[in-house]
Chains A and B, each alone.
Chain A
Amino acid sequence: MKYLPLVVKNLLRKKTRTLLTVLSIAVALFLYGLLVTIHGAFYQGVEMAGADRLVVRNRTSLIMPLPISYKERMLQIDGVAEVAHATWFGGVYQDERNFFVQFAIEPEPYLRMYPEFVISKVQLAEFMRDRESCLAGRKLVERFGWKVGDRIPIKGTIWPGVWEFNLRAIYDGKRPEDDTTQFMFRYDYLDERRQFGQGTVGWYMVKVKNPDDSGKICRAIDTRFANSPYETVTEPEKVFMTGFVKQMGNIELLILSIGAVVLFTLLLVTGNTMAMAVRERIGEIGVLKTVGFSDRAVLVLVLGESMTIAGIGGIIGIGLAKLFTLGGDPTHGFLPVFYFPPAKIVWGLILATAVGLASGLVPAVGAMRLKIVDALRRV
C-alpha cells in the first residue's frame, strides 16, 4: 500500500493517455457485459431447462400440432411422472411491436411442471376459477402497467378475432434469471373459442421420475406414436431449447468472436500504453533501483499501474453495463431475460484484472531486467 501514491502519481503523469486507456477498457468491459447478457438472454432457456423435463413435438415441425389424446397415452409409459401441454397463441397486444410470448396451458399440470414460477395462492385460485383468466409474469406486467383485475384484449393472428382475458394472477421467478415475461391463459378457453384445431395442442412437456431414464423414455414416446398421422420427436428440454436458439444462427460463436476481437484489441491498447509508460521513464526506473528498489519491486510497481488502469476501467465498464441491463430488455420482448448476473460481473472483473496483468507483464519484465547502469545512461 505504501507504493500506491507512486503508482497513482505515475498514472497521472500523462492524464489524457491514462484516461483514454481507462475508457477503452471501460468500453470493452461494457461490451463484455452486454455480450454475456445477450448470450444469457438467448441461452436462458437452455440454462434453466430442467434435467427431468422432456419436450414432445410434432416430427414434421414445431408449428404442427399434436392430438390432446396423446397425454393419457404418454402417462401410461413407465417412468413418466407428469404430462402437460402448451399451445402457441401468437396474438398482438395493441401494436405488433409489443411482442411477448403467449401460451394456452392446462394450468395445474403445467404449473406443477414449472415450480420456478411463484404465484400467490389467492391469485392462483382466482386464475383457476375464471375461464377467461390469464397469468402474466412480473416483468410483462410492469412493462405494460397492468394490474390484477385488468381486462387485456389480444388480437389473434392464428385464430382471428379479439380475445379478451382477465388478469387474475402475476407470477415471479424464484431466481432473478427466471423468465417473467410470459403470458399464459387457459387451454379450455382457447379450445372452446377457436375456429379450427380443436382437440390439438402445440407441444407436450413430460416430467420423468428419474432423469437417468430420459433417453429411454424419449425413445418409448416416439415409438408409441410412430407410423401415426402425428409422429413425434421427443428430446430433453435442454436439447430442445438449444435447437431452438440455433435456429437463429450460431449466436454463441458470434458472441465469442466479437468478445475475442475486443479482448485482443484491448490487450494491444493497454499493452502499448504500458510499454510507452515504461519506455519514457527508464532513467527513473534506474534511479528507483539505485536507491534500493529490487527488481521484483519494480515489476510489482509496473504491474500495479497496468492493473490499476484495468481495474478502474473494468469497474466503470461493468458498472455501466449493469446499469444498462437494469433498464430491462431493450428489444421489448425479443430478449425476455435481459439480466447481467453477479457471477458474470465477477468474471468481468477477473477478466479486467487479467487484461491488466497480461498487458503489463512484458513491459514489467523489461523494467525488472533493466540494468541500472544502462538505465541511468537514459536519464
Chain B
Amino acid sequence: MVRVDGNHDGTALISARDLDKAYQRGGETIHVLQGLNLDVEKGEFVAFMGPSGSGKTTLLNLIGGLDVPTDGAIRVAGEEINRLSGRKLAAWRGRHVGFVFQMYNLIPVLTAFQNVELPVLLTKLSKAERRRHVETALSVVGLADRMNHYPRQLSGGQEQRVAIARAIVADPTFLLCDEPTGDLDRRSADEVLELLSRLVHEHGKTILMVTHDPRAAERAHVVLHLDKGVLVEGRRKGA
C-alpha cells in the first residue's frame, strides 16, 4: 500500500513526513519539496513522474540518504535516517539501499565483477563469500558470462544490468532507480524494466523509480506525480 496523505498505520517500510527541501540560489530560496508525505510498504513498485525540476530526483536522494531534508523526517524500517551521522548514514546506505542511475555510473577501470563487488567490499564477508554474492547478482541480471568485461566492452543495456547487479548484490532493503531506462533504446529499456519487475515479483524487492517514460511507469504498481514539490497519487495498478 502506498499513501501520500500522511495517514498510515505506521507499518510502512518507507515513511516520509512533512518533508521540505529548499535550496539557496543567488540569495533566493527555492522550495523543491514542500510538506511532502509518503508511505511505501514492502514489495511495492512505485514510479514517480513529473516535469523536470519537479523534485523527483531530490526526493529519491532524500529517501536514499544522499541528501538531508530541510525539514521533516524520513523513516526506513523504523529508523529515522535524517538523524544518522554521516558515517552511520554511509553504512546504512550500504546495507539498505541499492541505487540505479540513468547513466549507469559504473567505474570504467573496474570489470563488471569488480563493479558489482564494490558494495560488498564494505561488509565483513570473506573473499569467497563476496565472489558468491557477486556471481549470484550477475546471474540474476543474466550477465554471469560477462563478469570479466569492462564497461566499455558492454552495451548500454548490459551496463545498466551490471548497475542493477551492483544495486542488489548486498541484498538491500529497497532499490532507488533514477530514470533507469533514460539512456537506453526501447529493447534494452524493456529488458531492464522486465528485470526490475522480476526483482519485485520474484525476489520481493521494493523499488522506487523516477521516470519520464510512461511505458516504464506502466510496470509500477503505483504511479505518483510530483509537481512543484507536491506529491499527487496517479494511477494505481488494478484500480
Contact = CB atoms under 8 A, between A and B. Distances in A.
Interface residues of B, number: 26
B90 A289 contact: yes
B219 interface: no
B103 interface: yes
B93 interface: yes
Nearest to A2: B121
Nearest to A295: B86
A379 B67 contact: no
B25 interface: no
Contact of B109 (A12, A288, A291, A373): A12
A291 B101 CA distance: 12
Most chain A CB atoms below 10 A, which of B95, B105, B110, B119: B105
Contacts of B55: none
A190 B205 CA distance: 100
Nearest to A291: B119
B230 interface: no
Contact of A284 (B93, B95, B107): B107
Most chain A CB atoms below 10 A, which of B95, B99, B166: B99
A376 B99 CA distance: 12
B118 interface: yes
Contacts of A3: 121
Nearest to A373: B67
A2 B51 CA distance: 43
Contacts of B170: 292
Interface string B103-131: 10101011000100011011000010000
A377 to B, nearest CB: 10
A5 B114 contact: yes
A379 to B, nearest CB: 6
A125 B66 CA distance: 85
Contacts of B121: 2-3, 6
Contacts of A294: 86-87, 90-91
A283 B93 CA distance: 17
Interface in A285-305: 287-297
B94 interface: yes
A10 interface: yes
Nearest to B178: A376
Interface residues of A, number: 26
B61 interface: yes
A9 interface: yes
Interface string A99-125: 000000000000000000000000000
Nearest to B89: A294
A295 B94 CA distance: 13
A291 B103 contact: no
A175 interface: no
Interface string A11-39: 01100000000000000000000000000
Contacts of B105: 283-284, 287, 290, 376, 379
B122 A9 contact: no
B94 to A, nearest CB: 2
Contacts of A376: 66, 101, 105
Contacts of A373: 61, 66-67
A376 B40 CA distance: 26
A378 to B, nearest CB: 11
B38 to A, nearest CB: 19
A289 B93 CA distance: 9
B107 A287 contact: yes
B74 to A, nearest CB: 15
A291 B93 contact: yes
B93 A9 contact: no
Contacts of B86: 294-295
B234 to A, nearest CB: 26
A6 B67 contact: no
A304 to B, nearest CB: 13
A372 B66 contact: yes
Interface in A327-379: 371-373, 376, 379
A164 B94 CA distance: 84
A291 B166 contact: yes
A296 B109 CA distance: 22
Nearest to A375: B66
A293 B91 CA distance: 7
A4 B157 CA distance: 29
23 contacts: A5-B114, A6-B121, A9-B109, A13-B109, A284-B105, A284-B107, A287-B105, A289-B90, A290-B105, A291-B94, A291-B119, A292-B91, A292-B93, A293-B118, A294-B91, A295-B86, A371-B67, A372-B67, A373-B66, A373-B67, A376-B66, A376-B101, A379-B105
Interface of B: 61, 64, 66-67, 86-87, 90-91, 93-95, 99, 101, 103, 105, 107, 109-110, 114, 118-119, 121-122, 127, 166, 170
Given A295-B90, A372-B66, A376-B101, 19 more contacts: A6-B114, A6-B121, A9-B109, A9-B110, A9-B114, A12-B109, A13-B109, A289-B90, A290-B105, A291-B94, A291-B99, A291-B166, A292-B122, A292-B170, A294-B86, A294-B91, A371-B67, A372-B61, A376-B105
3 nearest A-B residue pairs (beta carbon): A292-B94, A294-B90, A9-B109
